[in-house]
Amino acid sequence: MASVSESIDDVAKLVERKANIKSDEGKHKFVLKTPKGTRDYNPKQMAIRERVFNTIINCFKRHGAETIDTPVFELKETLTGKYGEDSKLIYDLKDQGGELLSLRYDLTVPFARYLAMNKITNIKRYHIAKVYRRDNPAMTRGRYREFYQCDFDIAGQYDAMIPDAECLKIVHEILSELQLGDFLIKVNDRRILDGMFAVCGVPDNKFRTICSSVDKLDKTPWQDVKNEMVGEKGLPPDVADRIGEYVQMNGGLEMIEQLLQDPLLSQNKLSLDGLNDMKTLFEYLTLYGVTSQISFDLSLARGLDYYTGVIYEAVLLQDQKEVQAQQNDHCEETLSVGSVAGGGRYDGLVGMFDPKGRKVPCVGVSIGIERIFSIMEQKAEASDEKIRTTETQVLVAAAQKKLLEERLKLISELWNADIKAEMLYKKNPKLLNQLQYCEETGIPLVAIIGEQELKDGVVKLRVVATREEVNISRQDLVEEIRRRTHSAC
């Protein structure tokens, strides 16, 4: 018969075994996934992103912008009260060392804080960085909780509409260069909106909330917007109807002239100032040659509280037949992703942070980079375009065995000359495997060394696409590689 101590040992072993089984089960239950509203990017996706970033950065630099960076989180009070109804989407962090912090919601408010803190009154800057929103993500349409923003802003006291026109020109340049398809840039002015609300009979305390309703008109029919204004926000139906007559108007210089003669709007100082500036803006845009893709649209409101003047938003247009065809095919992901850029004038934001309330007029634009990435990725997939994920110009290869030292010497020479070069990490790779690697990765050239080449002081340079081979003297190799890959770099 087993002793008590043996029984206790047996029980202890069973308990330990059970615990091990549980811990093993726990390992299997571990879920490998990215957090909701975020994603990883593979090398092909990153190659597309880098191409888009380079196009945008080159445009910003072409217009004389310099760049800055700010912390990924700010004091909570910095962000509070700047975003209207969207403030509920700010990520708050736990108290860290006596400071209440929040993840940045955009790059504009941190920029205004930066200007006030450093007493900067003039700057033209761009800033590309991640921002965070506690949103309900729709990732197929490029809507995430963590995403990049690309901002360009001009801060300073300048003559009316000159910086504003340049911001719109920049949007036009970027969307044209990226070749995303037809687009339209809608333009309005917060002063025209506020003046319109006033003459239509909207109480002062309802301006912002009615503004956020109007902002939905790009996705929601007028009747639904009207029902929201009347049913949820308590606006009298006749006031909503008067608003409806204006917000369904869009056009160009002719429409601006028409509104300048409007018996109601022309009597309101705010809307009159806005309309006169809008006229000037369109005159400048005509000189830039971009008005065919810009529309003065009274339905554009943009919900953010800090805008004080001109506001704009760029949307991609899609042929209705194409949309219908996609809907018939039950296609979940379409290329119609709506807004791809937006911005406006915010003259009062810096003053909110300045201890003496000194204002720095600002105007800027944010490029909807994630939505653009989404479109570019889908276009690449649809076209079966082969996307290179490296920029390697040449592979250093060996024709025979026991040439590792010579390969290392040659690749070092190339790296020192700033040539992008690779080699296979094997002592004696087969020549066929080396050539296949170039085919698979898109490397355009192979620098082949063998015993005969070493004796003759040459390198055999092979063009992967045509299989043409030519002997190049060692001292001329760098220049020859540069010449042959210059157009591809």
Averaged pLDDT in 10-residue chunks for the chain of 489 residues: 57 63 59 90 93 96 97 92 80 86 93 94 96 80 83 96 98 95 94 92 86 85 91 90 90 93 91 96 97 94 84 81 42 54 94 90 93 88 86 97 97 97 97 96 97 96 96 96 78
- Alpha-carbon distance of 215 to 195, in angstroms, equals 16
16 token code pair: 């330990």
* Number of C-beta neighbours around residue 34 at 10 A: 9
Return the pLDDT at 218: 80
Q: Is 467 left (phi over 0), alpha (psi -120 to 50) or beta?
A: left
Return the pLDDT at 330: 40
For residue 329, with 0-12 CB atoms within 10 Å meaning exposed, 13-18 middle and 19 or more buried, which class applies? exposed
Say if residues 278 and 310 touch (Cβ distance below 8 Å): yes
Return the pLDDT at 489: 46
Return the pLDDT at 10: 64
What global pTM score does this model have? Answer: 0.83
Say if residues 70 and 127 touch (Cβ distance below 8 Å): yes
Return the pLDDT at 382: 85
Say if residues 288 and 171 touch (Cβ distance below 8 Å): no
Return the pLDDT at 71: 96
Return the pLDDT at 128: 96
Return the pLDDT at 423: 97
Which position has the token pair 């369904």? 248
- Alpha-carbon distance of 347 to 304, in angstroms, equals 13
93 token code pair: 């962090």
Nearest of 431, 458, 445, 437 to residue 394 by alpha carbon: 445
